[in-house]
Chains A and B, each alone.
Chain A
Amino acid sequence: EVQLVESGGGLVQPGGSLRLSCAASGFTFSDYWMLWGRQAPGKGLEWVATIKPDETERYYVDSVKGRFTISRDNTENSVYLQMSGLRAEDTALYYCGRGYNGNSEFYDFRGQGTPVTVSS
């Protein structure tokens, strides 16, 4: 069974940092694009960052470029999101997603997400 378990969220002050983790199991992790997406309270979805299986390509939404870094460890079957310079508008539930059938455009999600709250 495919599982994606997010962790690392919490309450942080503006300008602070957090590192999110996603532990994957039930599939060959090194074959898939992996994504961090988010959903602000009561709002819609937004793709934040994605990473190719071999880490040779990474893409970010413009609002997080230079502040967030996505990485992965194919030996640990995990994907990470290092977030710095956090802003109030980064407050959201962050989901880890797996590229469907090896794609990088659409994703399936299995976890409950990890909440990030940026507030003083």
Chain B
Amino acid sequence: EIVMTQSPATLSESPGERATLSCRASERIRYSLAWYQQKPGQPPRLLIFNTNARPAGVPARFSASGSGTEFTLTISSLQSEDFAVYFCHQYTKWPGTFGQGTRVEIK
């Protein structure tokens, strides 16, 4: 099983700051990576697929990059609605595996 490791577990930042979240795969996953955002009491929201593609409606302040085993999600300027938990998900083979999540909290 491919293990996904996210860091940091918690990221404390102020509104307007840049946030960088990392996700590492235990083996190469090419570009088969998605990011989901989840707020308390809400379902997950697809933010990024295929490593760096944004679904319609996702703001441009969310960007992502990576390949192989190292991946990054960047939020260029944190807005109040961005404080949430972020999960990465590799899908080289169904059902794939998720990281344990990074909580982005207000500093």
Q: Which residues of A contact B (CB under 8 A)?
A: 37, 44-48, 50, 59, 61, 95, 100-101, 103-113
Place the interface of chain B in its size category.
Answer: 20 to 34
At the interface, is chain B mostly helix, strand, loop or mixed? loop
Report A-chain residues with C-beta under 8 Å of the C-beta of B89: 45, 106
**Which A residue's beta carbon lies closest to that of B36?**
A45
Report A-chain residues with C-beta under 8 Å of the C-beta of B100: 44
Report A-chain residues with C-beta under 8 Å of the C-beta of B49: 100, 103, 105-106
Q: Are A45 and B46 in contact, CB atoms less than 8 angstroms apart? A: no
Q: Are A106 and B34 in contact, CB atoms less than 8 angstroms apart? A: yes
Q: Are B44 and A109 in contact, CB atoms less than 8 angstroms apart? A: yes
Report A-chain residues with C-beta under 8 Å of the C-beta of B71: none
Report A-chain residues with C-beta under 8 Å of the C-beta of B32: 105
B99 interface residue per 8 A CB criterion: yes
Greatest chain A CB density within 10 A among B32, B36, B41, B99 is at B36
The 5 residue pairs across chains A and B that have the minimum distance between CB atoms: A47-B95, A109-B43, A105-B91, A106-B34, A106-B49
